[in-house]
Every structure is written in C-alpha cells, then in structure tokens.
Amino acid sequence: MFDLFDLIFPVMFLLIFGMILFTFISGIRTWNKNNNSPRLTVEARVTAKRQNTTHHNEPVGGDTSGTHGYHTTTSTSYYITFEVESGDRMEFSVYGEEYGMLAEGDEGKLTFQGSRYLGFERTIEN
C-alpha cells in the first residue's frame, strides 16, 4: 500500500539538502570572485547609511509552550552606500564600529575588492 510519508520524507530531505548545498556553493563562488577581483581605491562619498535589526525569540529551557518565558536575542547588520565619481552607487556591509565613524556626506577614498568592503579613508578639508 502507498504510504504518503515514504514519499514526502525523501523529497523534503533532498529539498533541504539542495538548499544547503546551493547556499554553500553560492558563498564559495562569491568568495572566489572577490579574491580574484582587483583591489580598487576610488574617490567616493557616503550617500546613505542603513541598518537591519532582527529579533529572535527562543523559549527558556526548551519549553515550546512559553510557560517559562522567552529569551530574546537581537542582531544588527550595518550597510553604507557610497557614490563614486562616475555617479555609480555601491552598498557594502560594514562592522558597527565603521558604521558609527562615518556620516552621510563624508568624502574620501573607498577601498574595495569585488563586493568586499576593505575601508574608507575620510578626506579632511582645512
């Protein structure tokens, strides 16, 4: 007799395994592309800053009913958009310290490699 579980379990397993494999291969491809890209330093201006904050609630003690409450963790990702002399804009993920040190309108030299942010040296005018 046909059992639905015998069909669904292998399909779901293959689907989840395929998604993990795709994510892993995409990450390696991006890493390799960045490593093979030239390191560039160009004049740029900070045009925008944004952050993305996510909250995760996990039950205390593994009790999924929430009887003992929830433990909340928060993570924040920081992004800065730079505009280069040609008018093109590029957004990079940066660390919080770097995010806090830059302000919209800052001008200077942006160093990057592919989609990897390497640094920004602000130009100070007298």
HSE, side-chain direction, 13 A CA sphere, residue 59: 8
User: pLDDT for 53-108, tens place per residue?
Assistant: 999 888 887 677 777 788 889 999 999 999 999 999 999 999 999 999 999 999 99
The gap from C-alpha 113 to its chain's centroid, in whole angstroms, comes to 16
User: pLDDT for 9-18, tens place per residue?
Assistant: 888 999 999 9
- Can you give the pTM of this predicted structure? 0.74
Decide: helix, strand or coil at residue 102: coil
Cα separation of 35 and 50, whole Å?
Answer: 26
Predicted local confidence at residue 126, as pLDDT = 54
How many CB atoms within 10 Å of residue 94?
Answer: 19
Q: How does DSSP classify residue 122?
A: E
Predicted local confidence at residue 7, as pLDDT = 82
